[in-house]
Amino acid sequence: MKLSRLFAALAAGLVMGGAALAQTTMRISISVAQNSHQGVAIDTFAREVEKRTNGRYKVQPFYSGSLGGERESIEAVQLGTQELTFTSTGPVPNFVPETKILDIPFLFRDKAHARAVLDGPIGQEMLTKFDGKGMKALAWGENGVRHMTNSRRAVNAPEDLKGLKLRTMENPVHVQAYKGLGIVTTPMAFPEVFTALQQGTVDGQENPLSVIMAAKFDQVQKHLSLTGHVYSPCVLLMNKASFDKLSAADKQAFADAAKEAVKANRARVDEDDAKGVAELRNKGMQVVENVDKAKFVQVLAPVNADFEKQFGKANIDRIRNYK
């Protein structure tokens, strides 16, 4: 009897000692709700990391900007006060200027074109630019294609935007382009947007259907126009020092987990895009589906000429013409 108790105690001690020794917990954050295209990404990532490292690494997800907005979370990952984040590229050019080019309006033909560019040599080369900024970029995900909402009027053409006060991301390319469309731009961190719309501080905002639905903007916005003016990538970032400490096998495990996260993320964006318009109409939004995109491109011609000077026409064409 005594012997069996001794064995039981030894076994318990080993289990407890093993658990204390084995597990490293890391945090990952998003600025939107758990039930969203970004939530499914970080939940998948957490599950896959734990599975692929046999529970030695546990990733704890945080949602709805509970650890701060996107810019703050990128800063935290860069400084190492937070290990991981999944963020839209809105504020990323403030850290990695090379990513600015991705935010040019009407750069991509559609989501399939954008995904091909990001998963191909152009996008993969761009991920390496994060290395020198204290971050390891594990994979490109997405928010989807951005559309405009507002509480004042239907937007069918660029002239309908004149004088509308729209929240924009803290992104220099977006701000320049939207000013070119006559919008009064108000850069603002995402967690502040719902209240700003509710209080009328701004008239509208622009985001993919996935974000509009997850953030419940239908409660504070009447009009939705399917402008599809910008494709919005996301990126899964990890603190570089934390990544460098991993063994070769664990680095691979994190990279593979990121791939699975992106698959889940893109599938959810496709699902939201397929059902989004009907769902938002049912919730009372008035939707303009047939926006004259050619007019938008025409009005943006002077801004695009400036982007060609900024980024080089050849670099822009390399993305535009990628097959």
Q: What is the mean pLDDT of residues 191-201?
A: 97
Q: What is the mean pLDDT of residues 225-232?
A: 97
4 pLDDT tier (thresholds 50, 70, 90)? low
Given this model, what pLDDT does residue 170 score? 87
Q: What is the mean pLDDT of residues 287-304?
A: 96
Phi (first) and psi of residue 207, to 5 degrees = -165, 160
Given this model, what pLDDT does residue 300 score? 97
Tell me the one-letter amino acid at 185: T
**55-64: pLDDT as tens digits:** 999 999 999 9
14 pLDDT tier (thresholds 50, 70, 90)? very low
Instruction: Pull the structure tokens for residue 245.
Output: 């400490």
**154-177: pLDDT as tens digits:** 999 999 999 999 999 989 999 999
Q: What is the mean pLDDT of residues 109-119?
A: 97
Instruction: Pull the structure tokens for residue 79.
Output: 């400084």
113-118: Cβ within 8 A, 24+ apart: 113/322, 114/142, 114/231, 114/233, 115/142, 115/266, 116/322, 116/323, 117/319, 117/322, 118/233
In the chain, the domains with their CATH numbers are: 2-320 (3.40.190.170)
Integer Cα distance of 250 and 227 in angstroms: 42
Q: What is the mean pLDDT of residues 188-211?
A: 96
Given this model, what pLDDT does residue 186 score? 96
The C-alpha torsion from 58 through 59 and 60 to 61, rounded to 10°, is -160
Residue 16 pLDDT exceeds 50:
no
2 pLDDT tier (thresholds 50, 70, 90)? low
